[in-house]
Amino acid sequence: MNEPMRVVGWNVNGLRACIKKGFVSFLESSGADIVALQEVRAFPEQLPPEITDSPGWHASFFPAKRPGYSGVAILSRTAPSKVETSLGDARFDDEGRFIVAHFGRLSVASIYFPKGNGKERDNSRVEYKLDFYRAAFDRLDQLRRRGRVYVLGDFNTAHHEIDLARPKGNHKASGFLPVEREMLTQLQNEGWVDTFRAAHPGQPDHYTWWRQFGDAREKNVGWRIDAVYASPSAAHRVTNAFIWPEVLGSDHCPVGVDLK
């Protein structure tokens, strides 16, 4: 896979619902070679054959054990040489948050990082969230020693104040807690590149998720929590990093990179 490529990620907020809103048309018009999905919220057998058995796409899924919850997938024009889904810890694997498709020396991960707020919105899952980050990137660090790695996912954290519309009111909210933001800083210190911010430094008002009330999307009151992170060798191949807020069908929008 040495030709120019496009890799796209999207938290679809329920793939069955997104299909009803035009996902298949998006898939064909996106120009993507690989599409990484998060929050699929379905078992493969619950999905139509145009997704699971399309002649144009190879589909790999990793659902959560709990029905209607979480789940990740990777669709690719070329069949992967290998797919892995386990982080070796049932706490993480049971929630269906991690899948990596290997294409020779190229690895593409689709990851749905946890929210930290918990059922009572008391930030009770922050520790779990940070443990998941570390476990995922410990595995990805191993992969980047052998080749190029792209991590497409809903990171559920806005890194800097520029990455959300209203930072002042969210410093105590999961998704913008100092300890969560510090984790992203740590990852970047370890060499991982936030491809969109590297390509568009200092540009405000670029968001990937909006609340589903208060006309948040129309007013662009959002958060940039979906991203493509690249290993150092992979970052050199990026020719364009983009966000597609005009694409509807979920409360998130697609993000991606073009590669040389």
Q: Does the pLDDT at position 207 exceed 60?
A: yes
Q: Give the span between the Cα atoms of 75 and 198, in whole angstroms.
A: 26
- pLDDT one-digit tens code per residue, 112-135: 999 999 888 899 999 999 999 999
pLDDT band for position 3 (50/70/90)? Answer: confident
pTM reported for the whole predicted model = 0.97
pLDDT band for position 191 (50/70/90)? Answer: very high
* Annotation says 138 is catalytic: no
Per the CB < 8 A criterion, the answer to whether 238 and 199 are in contact is yes
Q: Does the pLDDT at position 23 exceed 80?
A: yes
pLDDT of residue 93: 98
Q: Does the pLDDT at position 88 exceed 70?
A: yes
Q: Give the span between the Cα atoms of 75 and 61, in whole angstroms.
A: 9
Domains of the chain, first to last: 5-259 (3.60.10.10)
Write phi, then psi, for 90 (nearest 5 degrees).
-60, -30
Mean pLDDT of the chain: 97
Rounded (10°) angle between helices 126-144 and 178-189: 10
| Mean pLDDT computed over 167-177 | 96
pLDDT of residue 126: 97
- pLDDT one-digit tens code per residue, 27-64: 999 999 999 999 999 999 999 999 999 999 999 999 99
Which residue(s) pair with 100 in the sheet?
84, 109
Set 154, 163, 194, 226: catalytic member: 154
pLDDT band for position 218 (50/70/90)? Answer: very high
Cα dist from 157 to 27, 143, 163, 200, 218, whole Å: 26, 23, 9, 18, 22
pLDDT of residue 119: 86
pLDDT of residue 2: 64
Q: Does the pLDDT at position 1 exceed 60?
A: no
